[in-house]
Chain A
Amino acid sequence: MADPTESGYLDRVRREFTTQTWVLIPMGVALSVVAAYVVNVVKVPFLYLDALGVVLIAILVGPWTAALTGVFVNLVEGFIVNPTFWAYTPLQVAFGLAAGYMARRGWFRRYWKVVVVGLVLAIISIVMGAPITVLAFGGVTGTGSDAVTAFFRATGSNIWSAVVGQTLVVEPIDKVVTALLAALIAERIPARYRPETAAKVLDRDR
């Protein structure tokens, strides 16, 4: 006999995936890609927002859908922007799972809590991203962040500390702003277009 708790869990995962969910995933993916373009216009330093789509899907649907969105964000960005993004796929998956589980536990109901979600994403990014950057790319990213890495190298750090130092500077800003924007935007979604799974996540305790 199957373990009842396990089948209940799988059931919950399965319930996340309706036709609407399958349509939402490409939306989340495209939003992440296009958010980067919008940021480019507004020009905020060290802001990339490439996790925005995943965090939004985490809020609107759930962790597993968000994780799957994460897989496709980097797969697709690799296809249309830059193949090196493929290497960072595990990060996006982890963002989706973390944001999704925190959303279900009410971490998007207060703004200070959203900041904490952003910091958690930043920690994931540092812990998982820095090794990928050092091992797969020799410590470079091909973005403006490399200037920060170079600064740390100039102060005498080895490559590992320099890349960790760089992510410590860049990631908290990007991820906290990403989480806050996701919360602000998701809250503005009119009731009739809000997927049912989102209501519980956003409604404030009254």
Chain B
Amino acid sequence: MSDVYVDSVTFVYKNTEEPALREVSCRIDAGSFVGVTGPSDAGKTTFCRLLPGFIPNFFGGDFEGSVTVGDVDTSTTSITSLGNAVGYVFENPFDQLTGAATTVLEEVAFGLEQRGVPSAELERRARAELERVGIVDLAERDPNTLSGGQLQRVAIASVLALEPAVLVLDEPTSQLDPDGTDAVFDAVSRIHAAGRTVVLVSQDLQRLAPRSERLLVFEDGRLVCDAPPREVLDARSLGADRSFDDAVRVPPTVDVGRRLRDRGVVPADRPLPLTVAETVEEITRHAEVVTTAIPNSDSVPDGTTRGSSVDPRIRIENARHVYESGVEALRGVTLAMNGGCVALVGHNGAGKTTLAKHLNGLLRPTAGRVVVRGTDTRTASVAELSADVGLVFQNPDDQLFRATVEDEIRFGPENLDRVDAETRVEAAIEQLTLDSVRESDTYELGRAARKRVALASVLAMRTPVIVLDEPTAGQDAAGVSIIGEAISDLVAEGRLVVCITHDVEFVRAHADRVIALSAGEVVADGTPREVFADEAVMDEAGLRAPIVTRVGEALGLRGVLHVDDLLERLA
């Protein structure tokens, strides 16, 4: 059997001083599903790289201990032959493809071609793997034209074609939208059910925990916890002084479950719920639900509303945008935005990014107009508008280029020619807690930290309007809270923050107003409570409501936004 043994491994990457892994030992049984989680830069990726022999065969450094897959010692076996035993799926969907395939089928067949598998068998095996991950209909497509979620499944099929016993996936969904994420998790579940060992790294415990037989938590290079997920998330079973709440993003159902136990609604010794169904089940079993309407006490903050009398910072009048390709991305959008935190939600392709690019003039409406602080965007250059609107894109690597974090953050204020550039840089460094890495090379930081650098580089421009594209993607628990606080500070200073996001839990916690887009049109605009309660709109926008709202709905309660809303209705 192909059990995996990791035996007291310590590893220090070349040219670094701190070990990336410290005396890590564990055993992964053949056929098990192991989830791996923990903060950024805690050693999760380094751990994954052990299994296919990338460490020590590709990444040089000081390696101690041993790793065996079945009866094979990884340090004395080539990456190529380990490829037959361990399949590895990387975070970035596109980069891990061969790049030399003009169709999906060629991509999946690549590994088999290299091994000289007879032509007759090639196509059959490649199609079988595509079938397994649910994309056999894409076999003839050019990989360049696929979405991230589809590409990630192509990558899974490509490594599965070599029939490895173990599949390792390093944050395969951190760059995907919710549909893509679900598709990947479902494919992985099927692969596990068919008998393969799965090791899956993710920050998304709401999806990871219910599937995992065991959860490994890494912190600072150490394997600090190796237990079934319910135990990892249950402070009592760990002992009073141990909790991993700082290290992992506690899934919302666990959060609800804990509150129910604290309140005495559910017996404290009952195992924590890991899914919405389990939460609903324990509530119906142990509590009475009082189905009175929840008063809509929230209001959209002053000045953000549609009918404001003052001229708002951003006014969009019947804006349309047709790309050169003929795609109509915006079909008559009318909006006014002035302050607060506005969440822009909707499917991929609904027009969110197109709309965001209209706010600083990167795109101009092909009909209608966009007015930013009194200036029609058609009459100003992007460089001029960048003093009014700061826009942070999703991928930090599309903008970082200077030698140090500090220098990078200075780029924006320099372009604006501001005399107080230094104070702005300092403030942004502090706001995103980057002080300890200010002298570092940005690319020596992990992706989550690089994203905060990119954010800081735009905050330092002190624009009255800030637009953020997926600010929480790939962030760990600490990162989400740093970004959340930064946004709250900005709103408190009276600035307008617009977040494009799929992270409904983040919207629930931080947004004052939710605008849902679908097919280039605004389909809902209101408080989070109003929009999330409207199932028809949520369906149209391709969104799933926050967990607590869904629990409420299953219990016949509409408009539940916080755990307190729920607790008040339970007797």
Contact = CB atoms under 8 A, between A and B. Distances in A.
Interface of A: 23, 26, 188, 190-193
A23 B444 CA distance: 22
Contact of A192 (B15, B401, B403): B15
B443 A192 contact: yes
B443 A193 contact: yes
Nearest to A27: B99
Interface string B426-450: 0000000000000001111000000
Nearest to B443: A190
Contacts of B15: 191-192
Contact of A190 (B13, B99, B444): B444
A26 B443 contact: no
A44 B13 CA distance: 42
Contacts of B13: 192
Contacts of A193: 443
Given A190-B441, A191-B441, A192-B444, 9 more contacts: A23-B99, A188-B401, A188-B403, A190-B442, A190-B443, A190-B444, A191-B15, A191-B444, A192-B15
Interface residues of B, number: 10
Contacts of B403: 188
Nearest to B445: A190
A92 B470 CA distance: 42
Chief secondary structure at chain B's binding surface = loop
Interface string B220-239: 00000000000000000000
A73 to B, nearest CB: 16
A190 to B, nearest CB: 4
Nearest to A26: B99
Nearest to B401: A188
7 contacts: A26-B99, A190-B441, A190-B443, A190-B444, A192-B13, A192-B443, A192-B444
A79 to B, nearest CB: 13
Contacts of A190: 441-444
Nearest to B99: A26
A31 to B, nearest CB: 14
A11 B121 CA distance: 38
Nearest to A30: B99
Nearest to A187: B403
Contacts of B441: 190-191
Contacts of A188: 401-403
The listed residue with most A CB atoms (<10 A of its CB), out of B15, B402, B442, B443, is B443
A23 B443 CA distance: 21
B396 to A, nearest CB: 13
Contacts of B402: 188
Nearest to B98: A23
A188 B403 CA distance: 6
A191 to B, nearest CB: 6
A192 B446 CA distance: 12
B112 to A, nearest CB: 18
A190 B441 CA distance: 7
B224 to A, nearest CB: 26
A182 B448 CA distance: 29
Nearest to B444: A190
Contacts of A192: 13, 15, 443-444
A72 to B, nearest CB: 13
Contacts of B443: 190, 192-193
A71 B443 CA distance: 32
Contacts of B401: 188
Interface string B398-417: 00011100000000000000
A34 to B, nearest CB: 14
A193 B401 CA distance: 13
B83 to A, nearest CB: 12
A192 B13 CA distance: 10
Nearest to B79: A19
Contacts of A26: 99
Nearest to B402: A188
Contacts of B442: 190
A64 B13 CA distance: 30
The listed residue with most A CB atoms (<10 A of its CB), out of B13, B441, B442, is B441
A26 B97 CA distance: 13
B452 to A, nearest CB: 17
A192 B99 CA distance: 23
A191 B440 CA distance: 12
A181 to B, nearest CB: 13
Nearest to B440: A190
Contacts of A23: 99
A199 to B, nearest CB: 10
A37 to B, nearest CB: 15
Contacts of B99: 23, 26
A191 B15 CA distance: 9
B299 to A, nearest CB: 45
Contacts of B444: 190-192
A192 B441 CA distance: 10
Contacts of A191: 15, 441, 444
A190 B400 CA distance: 11
